[in-house]
Structure 1
């Protein structure tokens, strides 16, 4: 299928883009990389009257590490972030997860902010943002606001972003000395959406596990370390977390299989994160 007819705008400035988005209201959509939106346009799941292209705005090509955050602008591609030489030291969890995002070709077009705005429950970037305690910076023609990642996602393809707002950037906290991180996922093929993805962080006296692909949004749970190690009742805690996530049977896996993956992979990544503390 092909998209329904729409007008296309490539603004010269972010101010122009935000003004057009405000005027367009619910009939306008923004695009940067297009790896999430274009399939939806082709299948006519969305039919905007105006498409606003942010991909060439220099104002949105921010990729900086300062003030304790790695800031990734809306026009920065997944490939550019993955190619950053210092990424593994700055946000090691993101460095571990990005190779699982799509394929080389799609990472050269897809953006991190686009994946976050799309809010697929199986996507790796939203999961890493939630696992690390990141933030989403939203902006419209009148204001800018920051939303904790854990509060940004409401359900499948649903977020707190208003129709007149864009995801201007996402912010990942820089890894602290002594922290550990690990990521694993199971999918039908490498590059497919995850059946279950698990991201673990160990920071200070706390271990955190975030899970994607099971519930309707990325979810996380934390446990205190005991004498510097994982709690003795971790298996019971992981089992409770797996059941709380819910999950459904579908063409890819049963809910029972997903719960088992949460228990097994969850323990594995938590142990890896604990063992690789820097």
Structure 2
């Protein structure tokens, strides 16, 4: 009977989570406000840099970067034509806001994710602890990330970036760890034979050898960040997700197509620039 009574009673999990959130807000409100101010300052700075000068100047600079990275004339021309189309569709400002949001999210994800991947490869305990956490982060629906971000940071760009970071940070961690684990043992032995210190081994032998896997993690981080654009707009993140969300609420097919096309152009451009394919 005791077992039946236990199974029929709801576990107060929701109340426990609400209590924990209230404790965090009450005791770490200042830290959260400082973190929010830091992210907002970084975001505003990137928007200011990306918005500097005429949009044609930005398109020219981006095309130059595409050429320097890939040396692909088709990618360079496609980048120019794609951004000119976005400019013509009057989606330029949302695109800049989206790009700044992605850059902020990816920067924070990589600053945390790559060192965490290195730590995972160095410590079995950290690997065991983080493995179920990363599984949980990669399987939970992305909409769920909006709830704690909204509770801790309110409406606006900051909770959207925080939710995006949590959603996109797993690939850099896992692919950095995977790349380091797959470094040829003979290469490590050669480094030790030449008297390399652990620091030199990491930065001159292991990380360069693991760079293809790390770059794939960066690419996946960028794509996941971009996939959160529309979702994060639900809590006031803005960018290209805002007109997409507005088109859904007003059933404006034209607006939704134009904004969605901007997302697609940005996604293809970033994928070609930071993916492994060079053609």
More strand by share: 1
Larger radius of gyration: 2
Please, what TM-score do these two structures have when normalized by structure 2? 0.28
Please, what TM-score do these two structures have when normalized by structure 1? 0.28
For CA contacts below 8 A with separation 6 or more, give which structure has more relative contact order. Answer: 2
